[in-house]
Structure 1
Amino acid sequence: MVDRFVVVPAAYVFLLRERDFELEVLLQLRQNTGYMDDHWAAAAAGHVEQGETAYDAAHREAAEELDVTGLRLNFVTSMQRTRGGEAIDERIDFFFTATTWQGEPRIVEPEKCADLAWYPLSALPSPVVPHELVVLEGLRDGGLTAYMSHGFK
């Protein structure tokens, strides 16, 4: 019998708003997570739990991390990724945007989030988590497809 690798699913939510005729995205500055700390990332993201759809996970993560509910999610892409042969599980990420929600986004987990800020898609902060930057650039430039990959040779 062949051992199969485990695919870890995650859901990401990019909250978007229009300000001064420009599209802005809400990003969080990661801290104390052990992964990409001191990088800007989706304001809400996390693993899809057993028995949960990616849509359900996106709603749950937005409520847990930002205290917002009632999101009208728009699926924008999926990304299969790896870290170039490292001994990690492969990932499948589901990316959503939302322009409608209830509540004012706020930092709910200050131990994991050092800052929360809106940035124009045309002027993103640095550094951004690399695979998320690919999606943000695709949102900005209109280059997203339903399926993407990252980290493969």
Structure 2
Amino acid sequence: MLDRFVVVPAAYVFLLRDGAAGVEVLLQLRRNTGYMDDHWAAAAAGHVEKGETAYDAARRETLEELDVTGLDLEFVTSMQRTASGEPIDERIDFFFTARTWSGTPRIVEPHKCAELRWCPLTDLPTPVVPHELSVLTGLLAGTTSPYSTFGFDS
């Protein structure tokens, strides 16, 4: 039998709104997570659980992390991602945006999130988690596609 690696799925939600400087995205400053701490990232994101669709995971994560419901999700891209060529690091990330929702986003997990900030897509804080920055750059430029990759040599 062949040794096979596991691909880990995750869902990301970028809440968007129109601001004085153009389109703004809600980002969180990660802390105490063990991954990309002190980086800005999607305000809501997490692993897709067994038996759950990426859409369901996006809604669940947004409720758990921001106390927001009623998302009108728009699919942006599925990103196949790797790191250092190690098979264990294979990921499939599903990115969504939402421009309408119910509730006011707030930090629900202060032990994992140091700050929430609305940021113009044209003036993002630094550093942003690199693969998420790739999607945000595509959103700004209007160049996202249904399938994208990150971390591969070719």
Structure 1 runs of 4+ aligned residues shifted over 4 Å read none
1:118 aligned residue: 118
Deviates more, 1:81-90 or 1:25-34: 81-90
Matched with 1:78 is 78
Query: TM-score scaled by structure 1?
Result: 0.98
Work out whether residues 82 and 151 of structure 2, in 8 Å CA contact, stay in contact via their aligned partners in 1: yes
Distance 1:54 1:87 in 2: 22
Following superposition, the deviation at residue 99 of structure 1 comes to 0.2
Q: 1:62 aligns to what SS in structure 2?
A: helix
The alpha carbon displacement at 1:19 in A equals: 1.1
Residue matched to 2:34: 34
- Using the alignment, how far apart are the partners of 1:109 and 1:88 within structure 2? 28
Give how far 1:88 is off.
2.8
Sort the Cα spacing of 1:136 and 1:127 in 2 relative to 1 into closer, same or farther, 3 A: same
* Secondary structure of the corresponding residue to residue 140 of structure 2: helix
SS in 1 for 2:57: helix
Matches within 5 A, 1:73-152: 73-86=73-86, 88-152=88-152
Match for 2:142: what amino acid?
A: G
CA–CA separation in structure 2 for the residues paired with 1:74 and 1:55: 9
Quote the RMSD (CA, aligned, Å).
0.9
List alignment gaps of at least 5 residues for structure 1.
none
Q: Deviation of residue 3 (structure 1)?
A: 1.1
CA distance in 2 between partners of 1:30 and 1:86 (Å): 24
- In the TM superposition, residue 87 of structure 1 has moved relative to its aligned partner by 5.7
What is the TM-score of this pair, normalised by structure 2?
0.97
1-side partners of 2:40 and 2:31: how far apart?
A: 10
CA distance in 2, matches of 1:48, 1:87: 19
CA distance in structure 2 between the partners assigned to 1:89 and 1:20 by the alignment: 39
Q: What do residues 14-36 of structure 1 show as CA deviations (whole Å, max 9, x unaligned)? A: 00000126100000000000000
